Amino acid sequence: MTRFVRLLCLIVPVLCACNTTGDPASSDLSDAAPSYTGTFPRPLSDTPPADKEEADARVHTQVGQEYFFSFGHTDAALDAAKAALKKKPGYPPAYHLMGLIYMELKQNALADDSFRQALSAAPGDPDFNNSYGWFLCSQGKLSEALSRFATAVANPYYHYKTRPYINAGLCLLENGAVDRAESQFARALEVAPSNGEALYRLSEVAYRRGNYRRAHDILIQYHQRFDPSARSVWLGLLAARRLGERHAEASYTEQLRGRFSDSRENVLMMQGKYGLPRQTGNGPDAGKPKAPSK
């Protein structure tokens, strides 16, 4: 799976019912002050173009999104975003796309400026705040990132509230705040019980805490309802090793060798490095626009 696909693929349908620490309803982003407190607008992705220039700019932006998300062609995507701005100067979704591209290219100053340009025109847009939140997290600005995620969640018109909850959880996990991270993943499951990413992350949190039985049990639920991935098989293998369940460990080992031979997890296994990789900060779904849908 490429890094561009990882940026897109966050929400996966997996049904689950599992216990979490604390009350998920009260363990959300409510303790983070939103960066925007005005009247929340509908996301620009839900708003029809105001005129022909904006309609043309939207087409160029959607082409750029396709180049970036589907093919990873950053140069072509940037050209499309710039073409959109020529059609409609100041068009916020074009700046948003540029922010995502520059973030991918590690051109952080340009990414920050592009996100700010988008947000200056649409400070309450949930997609923009979610993406900028992930960027701020990647820069080590945890409090500011959580504020942006809280803004995205607070928008009543946002259809994808699991995204900022998941991203907040990943950001907190990256910063060692395991309890708070678990709360965000649990909240995502409360909002959307079919959220497979949140379920996987709860298993990961349990493993990191040393609760290997719970991690293993959650993964069993996961694999009963969703196709295994290299990371989920690897986590299952690690938990089985810790529990001394050799039959399960052998099964997971065979899956890695047979189905995921090209994965980094299989490389780790072949090298005898049995541990969870550090959070890589790919920002699953950090900025996925509503269109084009994937």
Rounded Cα distance between 209 and 122, Å, is: 40
Among 144, 160, 176, the domain boundary falls at 160
Residue 285 has what pLDDT? 52
Contact 169, 137 (CB under 8 A): no
Residues 75 and 187 in one domain: no
Cα–Cα distances in angstroms (integers) from residue 47 to residues 8, 56, 205, in the given order = 21, 14, 38
Closest among 260, 258, 240, 242 to 250, alpha carbons compared: 240
Q: Is the pLDDT of residue 10 over 50?
A: no
Total domains in the fold of the chain = 2
Residue 199 has what pLDDT? 95
User: What is the arithmetic mean of pLDDT over 2-29?
Assistant: 37
DSSP symbol at 93: H
User: What is the arithmetic mean of pLDDT over 185-202?
Assistant: 94
Q: Which residue has the higher pLDDT, 161 or 8?
A: 161
* The two structure tokens encoding residue 176: 């060692």
Q: Is the pLDDT of residue 23 over 60?
A: no
Residues 177 and 140 in one domain: no
Residues 156 and 48 in one domain: yes
Which of 10-19, 182-191, 192-201 is predicted with the least confidence, judged by mean pLDDT?
Answer: 10-19
Burial of 262 (0-12, 13-18, 19+ CB in 10 A): exposed
Residues 106 and 214 in one domain: no
pTM: 0.84
Among 160, 177, 198, the domain boundary falls at 160
Rounded Cα distance between 3 and 284, Å, is: 9
Q: Is the pLDDT of residue 17 over 50?
A: no
* The two structure tokens encoding residue 35: 């960066």
* The two structure tokens encoding residue 188: 């995502």
Residues 174 and 156 in one domain: no
Residue 278 has what pLDDT? 62
Q: Report pLDDT digits (tens) over 233-271.
A: 999 999 999 999 999 999 999 999 999 999 999 999 999
Residues 149 and 231 in one domain: no
Could you give the percent of the chain with pLDDT greater than 70?
85
Q: Is the pLDDT of residue 287 over 80?
A: no
DSSP H or E stretch at residue 51: none
Q: How many residues does the chain have?
A: 294
Q: Hey, is 147 helix, strand or coil?
A: helix
Residues 125 and 170 in one domain: no
- Helix, strand and coil content of the chain, in percent to the nearest 5, comes to 65, 0, 35
Q: Report pLDDT digits (tens) over 44-68.
A: 999 999 999 999 999 999 999 999 9
* The two structure tokens encoding residue 284: 């699953």
Q: Which amino acid is at 216?
A: H
Residue 5 has what pLDDT? 32
Q: What are the start-end ranges of the H helices in 29-177?
A: 52-65, 74-87, 92-104, 108-121, 126-138, 142-154, 162-174
CB neighbour list of residue 261: distance below 8 Å, 6 or more residues apart: none
Domain extent at residue 240:
164-285
Among 112, 143, 160, the domain boundary falls at 160
Residue 87 has what pLDDT? 98
When the pLDDT of each residue in the chain is averaged and rounded to a whole number, the result is 87
Which of 94-103, 140-149, 279-288 is predicted with the least confidence, judged by mean pLDDT?
Answer: 279-288
Q: Report pLDDT digits (tens) over 76-128.
A: 999 999 999 999 999 999 999 999 999 999 999 999 999 999 999 999 999 99
Residue 279 has what pLDDT? 54
Rounded Cα distance between 54 and 89, Å, is: 9
Q: Which residues pair with 195 in a beta bridge?
A: 13
Q: Is the pLDDT of residue 28 over 90?
A: no
Residues 185 and 131 in one domain: no
Residue 274 has what pLDDT? 93
Residue 30 has what pLDDT? 72
CATH number at residue 43: 1.25.40.10
Which of 34-38, 71-75, 182-186, 254-258 is predicted with the least confidence, judged by mean pLDDT?
Answer: 34-38
Q: Hey, is 106 helix, strand or coil?
A: coil
